[in-house]
Amino acid sequence: MSNKEIPYKIYLEENEMPKQWYNVRADMKKKPAPLLNPVTKQPITEDELSEVFCRELARQELDDTNAYIDIPQEIIDFYKMYRPAPLIRAYCLEKKLGTPAHIYYKFEGNNTSGSHKLNSAIAQAYYAKQEGLKGVTTETGAGQWGTALSMACSYFDLDCQVYMVKCSYEQKPFRREVMRTYGANVTPSPSMTTEVGRKINEEFPGTTGSLGCAISEAVEAATNQEGYRYVLGSVLSQVLLHQSIIGLETKAALDKYGVKADIIIGCAGGGSNLGGLISPFVGEMVRGEADYKIIAVEPKSCPSLTRGKYAYDYCDTGKVCPLQKMYTLGSGFMPASSHAGGLRYHGMSSVVSEIYDQGLMEARSVEQTEVFAAAQEFARIEGILPAPESSHAIKVAIDEALKCKETGEAKNIVFGLTGTGYFDMYAYQKFNDGIMGDYIPTDEEIEKALAKLPEM
C-alpha cells in the first residue's frame, strides 16, 4: 500500500467509518484520577453525576475499563451527513514551505457548527432524548459548541439553552443568529439570570466572562429546571470518547495509504479535539505497539499545560462541578480577552492531563499574533480560512515542517484542523489592521489564581 499515490483529500467510504468510539482510559496502565464530589471529596458516583448529566453519559464519564463503545445507529446516521471528515494532504503548503515533510490535516470544519464539536453534541443530544428529557443547558466559548448543540437539539427536537461567554457574544453577533436559526436560546455570560452569574458580575465588574463562569451558570440553569440536564462540549472524558471518531478516522485514512504518522499536533483548550485526535495513537503507545511525537498547542494567554499545576481543581468558576485532577491555572483564573475563545479555559481534560504527565505528549504555547500570521499564510495557500483555535496547531505544524527542511527529514506531520474562522472575522480584521496584541499573564497572576486551589 505504501507506494499508492496519495490524493489531496482522503475520504473514507461509509463502510470504512468507525462503528465504535475508542476509550483510551481502558488501555492506560495508570488511569486518570477519578472525579471527586466537591463536598465529600470522595470519588463521585454514577448516581451523583446523574443529577447533572444524563444517566448514560454519566456512565460513560466514569467508564475507564471498556476500550470500545458501540456508536448507536441514530448517531452513525447523523455522522453520515457530515462525516467522514477528509484527511487532507497539504501538498500546496509543503511546496510553499519547501519542506521534505509530508503534512496532513484532519479537517473537521465541513459542517455548519464549523468544528469538530458536532461529534459530541449529537451524541449528548441523542442520550438526552433517549432519557426523555425536555432540553439541555450548556455554555459556549467561541460559539462552535453552542452551534453544534443547537444543531443536534434541533435534529432531535430538544430545547437548547446556551450561556455564551460575553467576550465571544460581543465579538460574534452572527454566531447568536446561527444558534437562533437552529432554535436555541442564547444568553451572554456572566448574566444576571443565575445566582452564580450575579455573584461573578459583582466580584469582577465588567468581566468579559470565561468558560468557567459560563459552565457554572449552565449547570445552575439545568438543576433548576425539571426535565433538563447540563451538557458540556469539552474537558469531560465522555466528550473525548465521542471525539475519538476524529483519531479513528485519521488513523484509518493513514493506514489505507500505508502512512505512519511521526508527529501529531492538536490545539488544546479543554482538550476535546486534541484528546479525540490522539486517543487511538496514544492507545498504541501505551500498548507498546508504536511510538509518536505528540504536541499539544495552547495559547500563551491561557497556558494550563505549560504553566499550570497538575492538581485537583474545580472545573468551573462557581465551584458547583465535580473536582477534577488536571493541569490548571486555578478556577479563578480570568484569561485575557483573546480571539481564541475556545481555548480560554483554565483547566484541561483529565485524560489529556494524565497523558501529558506520563510524558506521552509534549506541550507548547504560542502567541496570538504568530498564530494569526500562520492562519493567514495557511488560508492563502490551502484555501481554508481556519478558526483561531485551529490555527494554533497550524503554527506548530509549520514550525515542525521547517525543522524538517533544516534536517532534510521527510517526516509525516499530522495535525487537527478543528474548524473554520467564518465567524472570527472581527479577529482577522484586527490582525489585518495590525492592531492585534498578545496577552501573556504574569507569574503573579498565575500564582494568585493557583493559590486558591481547593485543599485536599
Would you tell me which residues interact with a copy of itself (CB under 8 A)? 7-9, 11, 13-14, 77, 80-82, 88, 91-92, 110-112, 114, 118, 151, 154-155, 173-174, 177-178, 180-183, 376, 379-385, 420, 422-423, 425-426, 428-429, 432
For residue 62, the SS3 value is helix
- Between CA 184 and CA 138 the distance in angstroms is 11
Burial class (CB in 10 A: 0-12, 13-18, 19+), 100: middle
- Look up cell 496532513; give the residue: 104
Query: What is the smallest separation between the CB atom of 250 and a copy of itself, expressed in angstroms?
Result: 17
Q: Rank residues 174 and 447 by Cβ distance to a copy of itself and give the closer one.
A: 174
Query: What is the smallest separation between the CB atom of 77 and a copy of itself, expressed in angstroms?
Result: 8
HSE (side-chain half, CA atoms, 13 Å) at 37: 13
What is the greatest pairwise CA distance in the chain?
63
Q: Rank residues 182 and 333 by Cβ distance to a copy of itself and give the closer one.
A: 182
Query: What is the smallest separation between the CB atom of 368 and a copy of itself, expressed in angstroms?
Result: 16
- Quote the distance between the C-alpha of residue 318 and its chain's center: 21
Q: Rank residues 271 and 342 by Cβ distance to a copy of itself and give the closer one.
A: 342
Q: Rank residues 100 and 183 by Cβ distance to a copy of itself and give the closer one.
A: 183
Query: What is the smallest separation between the CB atom of 103 and a copy of itself, expressed in angstroms?
Result: 13
Partners of 69 in the β-ladder: 21
Q: Rank residues 422 and 439 by Cβ distance to a copy of itself and give the closer one.
A: 422
Query: What is the smallest separation between the CB atom of 445 and a copy of itself, expressed in angstroms?
Result: 32
Query: What is the smallest separation between the CB atom of 143 and a copy of itself, expressed in angstroms?
Result: 11
Measure the CA dihedral 313/315/319/322, to 10°: -80
Q: Rank residues 114 and 330 by Cβ distance to a copy of itself and give the closer one.
A: 114
Q: Which residues contact 407 (CB under 8 A, 6 or more apart)?
A: none
Per-residue CA distances from 314 to 36, 37, 235, 355 (Å): 10, 10, 12, 20
Per-residue CA distances from 218 to 193, 204, 213, 435 (Å): 10, 19, 9, 34
Query: What is the smallest separation between the CB atom of 213 and a copy of itself, expressed in angstroms?
Result: 25
Q: Rank residues 10 and 69 by Cβ distance to a copy of itself and give the closer one.
A: 10
Query: What is the smallest separation between the CB atom of 30 and a copy of itself, expressed in angstroms?
Result: 39
Q: Rank residues 78 and 310 by Cβ distance to a copy of itself and give the closer one.
A: 78
- Between CA 106 and CA 113 the distance in angstroms is 16
- Between CA 371 and CA 267 the distance in angstroms is 11
- Between CA 35 and CA 33 the distance in angstroms is 7
Give ∠ CA 387-83-56 in degrees, rounded to 5. Answer: 95
Query: What is the smallest separation between the CB atom of 285 and a copy of itself, expressed in angstroms?
Result: 32
For residue 80, the SS3 value is helix
Q: Rank residues 147 and 317 by Cβ distance to a copy of itself and give the closer one.
A: 147
Query: What is the smallest separation between the CB atom of 2 and a copy of itself, expressed in angstroms?
Result: 18
What cell numbers appear for 192 in the block? Answer: 444576571
Q: Rank residues 107 and 333 by Cβ distance to a copy of itself and give the closer one.
A: 107
What cell numbers appear for 280 in the block? Answer: 487511538
Own/partner pairs, 219-224, CB within 8 angstroms, 24+ separation: 219/52, 219/137, 219/316, 219/318, 219/320, 219/321, 220/194, 220/195, 220/196, 220/318, 220/320, 221/137, 221/161, 221/163, 221/193, 221/194, 222/52, 222/136, 222/137, 223/51, 223/52
Q: Rank residues 219 and 417 by Cβ distance to a copy of itself and give the closer one.
A: 417
Query: What is the smallest separation between the CB atom of 14 and a copy of itself, expressed in angstroms?
Result: 4
